[in-house]
Amino acid sequence: MNTHKIFWLPAATLLALSGPALAQDAGLVAQATGLPETLRASLAAWLAKAGQDHMSPVGMFQAADIVVKAVMVTLAVASVLVWAIFVARLITLALARRRLRRGYRRLERLGSLDPAERVFLHRRGVLGVMVRAALDERARSGTAAGTGIKERADSALIRIEAGAARGMGAGTSVLAITGSTAPFIGLFGTVWGIMNSFVSIAETNTTNLAVVAPGIAEALLATAIGLVAAIPAVIFYNILARAIGGYRGMLADASALVQRTLSRDLDLAVQDDRAAPPHHAFHRAAE
């Protein structure tokens, strides 16, 4: 299955849930998902059969009010986004941490920015950006004082470090928003559905549970979906917050290593200049 078709699957399922007619339309689900023919037919048949059972989640969804349906669909989409963001951030963090750890060991082993220039010239990763920024600042500063070069390089490295950490945290706000608002959105759907149930009780002038129970169950389903979206969002947010905090520490260590290496190169360059004999001494020796 192609990657882009995987992301169409939740949307196609939600679309099929919106009514019995769409649930029976295997062609629509097939077009959206790109699944094999047998699997498409099985999915459409399952949706159609589930829609006939009014006490099943699919049946309760189809019988719910339009407002409650909108709440359920919103929460279902939020839940899919929560899982997608969590998996994507975990993979990105793992790759970035491994690349940063490998580059850190390589730069520490080289001990100087001059040989590191060839190693990190086209290397991907934030450490390569830091090394190139330090080399660029040293080259642009020319014969300026080493203290000024260090300060300007430190400023550039701080900005690179902050940008890398900020980019790694992209999308986590969706987890925080979902975790804090999904229960209340689901509760709104429940309140709306129960309100409609009481209105139907007043219209039918009956308190028989067999009559009012389906409407109340439909309303409570909205709260259940809200909790299904909120609980993983809170857990995933805490996991990612801790992982990103550890990544920030690794970025700080990498920035400090680049600063130390640049400082060492500048001090060694000054020491070599002082150790070299003055230019006029060569003329006296020649005479």
Q: Which of 121, 120, 122, 117 is nearest to 103 (CA)?
A: 120
pTM of the predicted structure, to 2 decimals: 0.72
Q: Which of 77, 73, 55, 68 is nearest to 8 (CA)?
A: 77
Identify whether the C-beta of residue 153 lies closer than 8 Å to the C-beta of residue 133: yes
Per-residue pLDDT of the chain (287 residues; tens, 9 = 90+): 444 443 444 444 444 444 444 444 444 444 544 555 666 566 566 555 554 555 566 667 666 778 888 888 899 999 999 999 999 999 999 999 999 999 899 888 888 888 887 888 777 788 888 988 888 888 887 777 677 888 888 999 999 999 999 988 888 999 999 999 999 999 998 888 888 777 777 777 766 666 667 677 778 888 889 999 999 999 999 999 999 999 999 999 999 999 998 888 888 876 655 555 555 444 444 44
Q: Which two tokens stand for residue 60?
A: 């309760």
Amino acid at 18: S
State phi, psi for 278 to the nearest 5 degrees: -60, 155
Cα–Cα distance for residue pair 229/181, rounded to 1 Å = 10
Cα–Cα distance for residue pair 35/16, rounded to 1 Å = 14
